[in-house]
Amino acid sequence: MLWRTAGVCYCRGCRAAWLPIRTPVRYNGAHRGFFFDATSPRETGKEGITVVPTGGALGAEIRNVDLRTIDDVDFAVVFGAWHDHLLLLFREQELSDEELIDFSRRFGELDWAPIQESGRRFVEGHPEIYVVSNVVENGMPIGSLGAGEATWHTDMSYLEVPPKASMLYALEAPRFGGDTYFNNMYGAYESLPEELKRRIEGLSLKHDGTYNSGGYLRQGVTPVDDPMISPGVYHPLVCTHPETRRRALYLGRRRNAYIGGLSLAESESLLEKLWSYATRAGLAWGHKWRAGDLVLWDNRCTMHRRDSFDAASRRIMHRTQIRDEVAPRA
């Protein structure tokens, strides 16, 4: 006999159903990721993994799991929930850099971190880790983005094959500010008027490689503020998610963006319209960080932004980027 704890079954057909606590069920293998434990919680005193949707436009919290020791059955629940909710929050984790990398690798190969504004690349010995921090040590920032606002963006969309997912793990978080907001780009596409959907069908967008989301110039790049000539790569404006097959608006970041084939004025006007749909409050969900929080998001169907915070407080986050197997496709 297997036991399920309160939560949502991850079968497509029945995932909305909240289950009574500790209902005994027979696991028949038909379910994609059930909340079950091989033994009764009464025997172990341990509750099984649970998925709790945020109730917002995206996101769910995964409870009762230690990412250092997660087994294959619980990982299947996490993987299914990631596709269904776009973003997952895990609280009270205690991960070393190696453990963060190990858990990230369960989703695929990792990309190396982008070069930081300081010209440094990574945590010594761990090229996969990108440090996001305002902390300065020996006169040198230990990470990127400082304490300022980071504008809406998709991580590394200026690459031919941007990462499919990112994980951000909080080592230190300020008491106030520095909250991160995520939005649902499936919802953004679905909310467009039919006429606008038709207008953008088949169009491609240049994703700027000049500035990062904090407005800092990327290493080795000459500053350019003309979207027609700034460096970057083109991706379809509307992409089909390779796994869920759902369509999402794919905007990357606003600065220096340019829709191929249009005049600059036409491109700017169309982008303004699309961004106004994509950044409506109803499509977003915000997270207030505590040390030990880990957030995993899908870069193919979300964007994120960050509030500024008091530069005198400390915020240290370690991020990994999971490499995609395919470039964004219409």
Residues that bind ligand SIN (CB under 6 A): 132, 145, 150, 155, 166, 168, 180, 213, 304, 306, 317, 319
Burial degree of 290 (CB within 10 A; 0-12, 13-18, 19+) = exposed
Q: Residue 150 or residue 238: which is nearer to ligand SIN going by CB? A: 150
Name the residue nearer to ligand SIN (CB basis): 116 or 180: 180
Q: Which run of H or of E encompasses 60?
A: strand 60-63
| Least Cβ distance, residue 33 to ligand SIN (angstroms) | 27
CB 248 within 8 A of CB 185: yes
H/E stretch holding 323: none
Q: How far is the CB of 136 from ligand SIN (least distance, A)?
A: 16
291 CB-contact burial (10 Å; exposed 0-12 / middle 13-18 / buried 19+): middle
- How far is Cα of residue 306 from the mean position of the Cα atoms in its chain? 12
DSSP letters, 99-159, are HHHHHHHTTS-EEPPPPPTTS--SBTTBTTPEEEE--EETTEESSEETTS-EEEE-TTTTS
Q: CB 241 → ligand SIN: shortest distance, Å?
A: 20
Q: Closer CB to ligand SIN, residue 85 or residue 304?
A: 304
In this complex, which beta carbon is closest to ligand SIN, that of residue 145 or of residue 233? Answer: 145
Nearer to ligand SIN, 180 or 184 (CB): 180
Residue 253: strand pairing partners: 153
Residue 225 CB, nearest distance to ligand SIN (Å)?
21
Closest residue to ligand SIN, based on beta-carbon distance: 180
CB of 304 to ligand SIN, least distance (A): 6
- Report d(CA 142, CA 120) in Å as an integer: 9
Parallel/antiparallel/unpaired status of strands 316-322 and 110-111: antiparallel
**Closer to ligand SIN by Cβ: residue 85 or 315:** 315
> Cβ 132 to ligand SIN, closest distance in Å?
4
